[in-house]
Amino acid sequence: MPNYKIIIAYDGTNFCGWQVQRHKAQDKRRRSIQEVIEEALRKIAHKEIKLTCSGRTDAGVHAQGQVANFNLDLKIPLSGLKAALNSLLPDEITVLKISRAKDNFHSRFSAKSKAYRYTILNSRQRDSFSKNFVCFCDYPLDLALMRKEARALLGRYDFSGFCASAGKKKNPLKNIKRISVKKQGDRIYIDIEADGFLYNMVRNIVGTLIEVGRGKFPPGSIKNILARGDRRLAGPTAPAQGLMLLRVDY
């Protein structure tokens, strides 16, 4: 059956993440990105379609270039499928592109690297219009210190010290290819590209860099966390809403 690659953008604010989950407090299902798109595909194809994505995003996390793939005997042009999907999806989810992929293409296992951006609003005053897309920090941050510590993350290391306990079973060795800390106006952007990420790895790195910028962590803290692999030594997990999956490279 033909294999198709789909690129998706979404605002994750009102979703439980990519994958279907259960809301334990109320014992009822919350919407996931995956189930909403699969439901739209089912209406078009009149059968169940399984989406496989490059990597699950958590509740509140956004994507500018999430990638998934699915198998389908397509009876309409790709342009027609894209238009039909977008007509059925809520405003928060947009299909950017659909293309035929090789039979062995797998959105997760074929990926060479992923790039994330974390956005911090560094201002004395919050912004009500961007609150779902930034982490608000109303205290000064020393970007020079943050950049210096961030450079220690470049390369292939055991990132256990930046991994939430739920992800401890995965291979902790990851290669961070690029990392930058830059400021434009009152926004600080932390961009990270790696061959893979552990659970909450980006948000734990950002939370640690924020503590560095506040002067709470001394120079050399990143190297120490990497060497010791102890999550307790790192900073708090940064809020989900500041995180965006920018792209996946193959």
Q: Matching CATH topology for 3-101 and 113-249?
A: yes
Rg of the chain in Å (alpha carbons)? 19
Phi/psi for 205 (5° steps) reads -65, -45
Tell me yes or no: is domain 113-249 CATH 3.20.20.70: no
Residue ranges of domains in the chain: 3-101, 113-249
Tens-digit pLDDT profile for residues 60-89: 999 999 999 999 998 889 999 999 999 999
CB atoms within 10 A of CB 218: 10
- Residues assigned a catalytic role: 58
Taking only the tens place, the pLDDT of each residue in 98-145 is: 999 999 999 999 999 999 999 999 999 999 999 999 999 999 999 999
pLDDT at 27: 41
Distances from the Cα of 66 to the Cα of 72, 86, 98, 214, 219, angstroms = 19, 15, 12, 32, 35
- Biggest CA-to-CA distance, the chain: 61
Spatial distance between the Cα atoms of 195 and 212, rounded to a whole number of angstroms: 25
Q: Which CATH number, 3.30.70.580, 1.10.3720.10, 3.40.50.1980, 3.30.450.20, labels domain 3-101?
A: 3.30.70.580
The residue-averaged pLDDT of 170-195 equals 96
